[in-house]
Amino acid sequence: MDFRWTAKPIPPEEKVKRLADEIHVSQTIATILVQRGIETYEQAEKFFRPKFEDLHDPFLILGMDKAIARIQQAIDDREKMLIYGDYDVDGTTSVSIVYSFFRNFNQNIEYYIPDRYKEGYGVSKTGIDYAAENGVKLIIALDCGTRSNALVDYASSLGIDFIICDHHLPGETIPNAVALLNPKQNGCEYPYKELSGAGIGFKLVQAYTEKNGLPYEGIQEYLDLVAVSIASDLVDIRGENRTLAYYGLKKLNDRPAVGLDALLEGYTQKSNYSIMDIVFGIGPRINAAGRIGDAKAAVKVLIEKDFHTARQLAKVLQERNTERKELDNDITREAVSLIENNEVQSRKLSTVLQGKDWSKGVIGIVASRLVEQFYKPTIVFSLNDGYLTGSARSVKDFDIHEAIGACGDLVEQFGGHKYAAGLSIKEENFEAFAEKFEQVVRANISQHSLVPEIEYDLEIRLEDINPKMLKLIDQMAPFGPGNMLPIFRTNNLNSHGTARVLKDKHLKLQISQNSTPLDGIGFGLSHHLMHVSNHSIFHACYSIEENTYNGRTSLQLRLRDIKPA
C-alpha cells in the first residue's frame, strides 16, 4: 500500500530556540515538544515529570456532588448497589475499579456485564430487570448510559436510581439519572474532556476519597487498571490522561494488580511494559472474555486478590484469545474474498459487508483489518435475530459516527466515536443502508482521506541521531493519541548493498548518509527491496529505538516506509 508522507508544521524558530535554551535540549527535541504544545519550562516540567497532585478536582465534573451524596446514602442505608459496565476493556476495567473500591464500604454490592450476543452494547432492559429481581436500589453505570434515556426511566419506574459515568458523546437530551458524570455534556466545566470510562470511574472514587478524608494510597492501587483502559480505548494521552497513564504504567511495572500480573504471564516477559504492551498483550486477553464468552470472566480476573486463582482465571482468557484469533482470521479471509471478487465493491469508497455466520464478537477486529488493507470507511455486520449488528471503523479525518447518523432513517440504534462506532439495522434494510452510506461517504470524504498517511515530526540527518537524543525521546513516553512516538524523515540514503529479506516479509539493512551508518529494520517492508538495492538512493520515514543482539546494544531505525529518490 502506498502512503502519503505529511510533515507536521514547523513551529516558529524563536519558540524552539527559547525552549531549547530553557530546558537545555537540542533544537530537534525542542521542535518536537513545541509541536505538542509544550513551549515553556513549566509546561515541560509537567510533561516530563507529571505529579499525581496535579489531577483536577473531581467535583468539577457536573453532578459529582449529587453522585457522591447518593452513594453515601446507599452505603449508610445498606442499599444494594449494582456496578454495571460494558463488555470491552474500558467497561470491565471501570467495573473492576469501582466495584473493588466500594466493596470496602458496602458488602451489599454486585457487578454486572451485559452479554454481547443477547443484550448488546450498553445498558440493557435485561440488566435492569436483573437488578429489580435482586433488590438493587442503585445502579452505577460505567462506560455506557449517556444515551440510555428510556432505560433509565424504566429503571426509575422500578424504584432503581442511576448514576452514569461515561465519556461517549451525549445526545440532544440527557437521561433523567441522579447524575450523569460526563465531561462532554453541555454545562460541564471540567477542564479535561478526554477521560476514558475507567478514568471517570476513577474520578468517582477519587471524589469519594476526598469527601471522606481517606488517604490517596487507597485509590492509587487502581492506576494500572486506568492505564489499561486508556491504552485499550485509544483515548487522547495528553493532559490528565498522561498523568494517569504515567503513574498507571509505573504501578504496572513495579507492583501490578494480581489479575494483571497473571495476564502478563501469557505475554512476552519484559522488565518494563509500555502502552503498546497493553494494546497488544493485556487488552486483547481482556477483550476476548466478551468476544468469545461471558465478559464477567474478565472482571473476575481483574478483582482477584489471590495469584493462584488469578492465574487459573487468566488461562481461560488466554484460551478464549487463541480462539478469537482463529475466528477473526477466518472471517477476515472471507471478507477480503468478498471484496476482491466483487467489481462493484472495489469501485466504492466505502466497505459494507454482512455475514450470517460471522461472530458478533470479532466483527470490530475484522473491520479494522479491512481498513488496514483497503483503507476505506468500513462497516461489518453480523446477523442476529433478524437484526444486523455492525461494527464501524474509519480512516483519518472522516467521522464515521456522523456518517452513520446521516443514514438515520435506516438505523435502529447507533453510538460511538469519530473513528469507531456500533450500530444495528433491520436485515431487510441492508442494501438500502449500504447504498445510502456510500452516498454519504462520497459526498463528504476528501481524496486525501482515502490514502493512508504517515505524519512525521521533522526531517533530520542521520548524524543528528545519538544516544542522548533517544534517551530524551524515551522520556516523552507514554506514547499514544496526541503524543505519538516521534517519526522522522531522512532523504538521500544508501544501503551499500547490505539489504536483505528476513522471513519472506521483513527488510533488514544498514543505512548510511554520507559517512554515518545505522542499522535499520522494516517489518513487512520486503516489497521495498528493489528500492534499496544496487546502491539506489532512497528516502525513509522511521522511528528510533535500541536493538540488543548478542549482548551488544546499538541504535536502530524502525522503518515505517521507503520511497525511491
pTM equals 0.92
Residue linked to cell 524563536:
14
In a domain, 331, yes or no: no
DSSP string, 391-429: EEE--TT--HHHHHHTTGGG-SEEEE-SSEEEEEEEGGG
**Residue 356 confidence (pLDDT):** 81
Q: In sequence order, what are the residues at sequence separation of 6 or more whose Cβ sits closer than 8 angstroms to the Cβ of residue 535?
A: 494, 495, 496, 497
Half-sphere exposure of 476 (CA within 13 A, CB side): 22
My answer on whether 439 and 469 are in the same domain is no
Quick one: 45 and 89 in the same domain? no
The identity of residue 238, as a single letter, is R
What is the residue range of 506's domain? Answer: 454-565
SS3 string of 430-454? HHHHHHHHHHHHHHHCCHHHHCCEE
CA–CA separation, 124 and 118 (whole Å):
10
Q: What is the pLDDT of residue 466?
A: 94
Q: Which residue has the higher pLDDT, 515 or 181?
A: 181
The C-alpha cell at 552 is 551488544
Domain count, the chain: 4
For the chain, what percent of residues have pLDDT higher than 70? 100
Residue 385 has pLDDT above 80, yes or no: no
At residue 515, does pLDDT exceed 80? no
- To 10 degrees, what angle do helices 125-133 and 149-157 make? 20
Q: In terms of Cα–Cα distance, which of 146, 92, 155 is closest to 296?
A: 92
Exposure pattern of 433-461 as b/e (b: 16+ CB <10 Å)? bbebbbebbeeebeeebbeeeeebbbebe
Cell numbers for 432, please give them.
Answer: 438500502
Rounded to a whole number of angstroms, the distance between the first and last alpha carbons of the chain is 18
Indicate the range of 244-248, 415-419, 497-501, 519-523 predicted with least confidence. 415-419
Q: 389 is written with which cell numbers?
A: 449488528
Strand 420-426 vs strand 387-393: parallel, antiparallel, or unpaired?
Answer: antiparallel
Whether the predicted pLDDT of 97 surpasses 80: yes
Q: What share of the chain is helix, strand, coil (3-state, %, to 5)?
A: 45, 20, 35
Predicted pLDDT at 179: 98
Q: 390-444 pLDDT, tens per residue?
A: 999 999 999 999 999 999 899 998 877 888 898 999 999 999 999 999 999 999 9
Q: Mean per-residue pLDDT for 171-196? A: 96
The answer to whether residue 29 scores a pLDDT higher than 90 is yes
Which of these ranges, 207-221, 321-335, 410-424, has the smallest mean pLDDT?
A: 410-424
Q: Are residues 441 and 460 in the same domain?
A: no
Give residue for cell 461515561: 166
Task: Report if residue 325 sits inside a domain.
Answer: no
Which CATH number covers residue 349?
A: 3.10.310.30
Residue 88: alpha-carbon gap to chain centroid: 11
C-alpha cell recorded at residue 331: 472471517
C-alpha cell at 532: 534499496
Q: Rounded to an integer, what distance in angstroms lies between the CA atom of residue 283 and that of residue 228? A: 7
Residues 368 and 440 in one domain: yes
Q: Which residue has the higher pLDDT, 346 or 69?
A: 69
Domain end marker among 450, 484, 502 = 450
Q: Does 1 map to a domain?
A: no
- Whether 462 shows a pLDDT value over 80: the answer reads yes
Q: Which of 263, 285, 318 is the last residue of a domain?
A: 318
pLDDT digits (tens, 9 = 90+) for 254-280: 999 999 999 999 888 888 999 999 999
Do 423 and 466 sit in the same domain of this protein?
no
- Whether 263 maps to a domain, the answer reads yes
Check if the beta carbon of residue 395 is closer than 8 Å to that of residue 424. Answer: no
pLDDT surpasses 90 at 370: yes
Residue 221 has pLDDT above 90, yes or no: yes
CA–CA distance, 214 with 72 (Å, rounded to integer): 14
Are the C-beta atoms of 142 and 136 separated by less than 8 Å? no
Instruction: Tell me whether strands 500-502 and 161-165 are parallel, antiparallel or unpaired.
Output: unpaired
Question: What is the rounded CA–CA span in Å between residue 473 and residue 485?
Answer: 8
Position 169 confidence tier, pLDDT thresholds 50, 70, 90: confident
pLDDT value for 497:
78
Res. 60 pLDDT band, cuts 50 70 90: very high
What's the pLDDT score for residue 2? 87
Q: What is the pLDDT of residue 458?
A: 96
Looking at the fold, whether 314 and 375 belong to one and the same domain comes out as no
Dihedral class, residue 215 (left if φ above 0, else alpha if ψ from -120 to 50, else beta): beta
Is residue 7 one of the residues assigned to a domain?
A: no
Give the pLDDT confidence score for residue 548 in this predicted structure.
Answer: 85
Q: Residue 104 has what pLDDT? A: 97
- Here the CATH number for the domain that contains residue 511 is 2.40.50.460
260-274, 302-316, 445-459, 473-487 — which is least confidently predicted?
260-274
Q: Which of 450, 482, 511 is the last residue of a domain?
A: 450
> Using omega within 30 degrees of 0 as the cis cutoff, is the peptide bond preceding 478 cis?
yes
User: Are 410 and 548 contained in the same domain?
Assistant: no
Q: For residue 239, what pLDDT is reported?
A: 94
Quick check: helix, strand or coil at residue 195? coil
Share of the chain above pLDDT 90, in %: 86
pLDDT at 434: 96
* Residue 136 belongs to a domain: yes
Mean pLDDT of the region 27-39: 96
399 assigned to some structural domain: yes
Tell me how far CA of residue 134 lies from CA of 81, 110, 160, in angstroms.
10, 10, 11
Q: Which three cell numbers stand for residue 155?
A: 429503571
Q: 157-168, pLDDT tens digit by residue? A: 999 999 999 999
One domain, residues 308 and 410? no
Are residues 190 and 254 located together in one domain of the fold?
Answer: yes
Q: Which amino acid is at 215?
A: P
pLDDT value of position 118: 86
Say what the pLDDT of residue 543 is.
98
Domain shared by 476 and 564, yes or no: yes
207 assigned to some structural domain: yes
- State the cell numbers at 28: 530537534
**149 and 255 part of one domain:** yes
Question: What is the structure's pLDDT at 343?
Answer: 86
Indicate whether 178 and 310 sit together in one domain.
yes
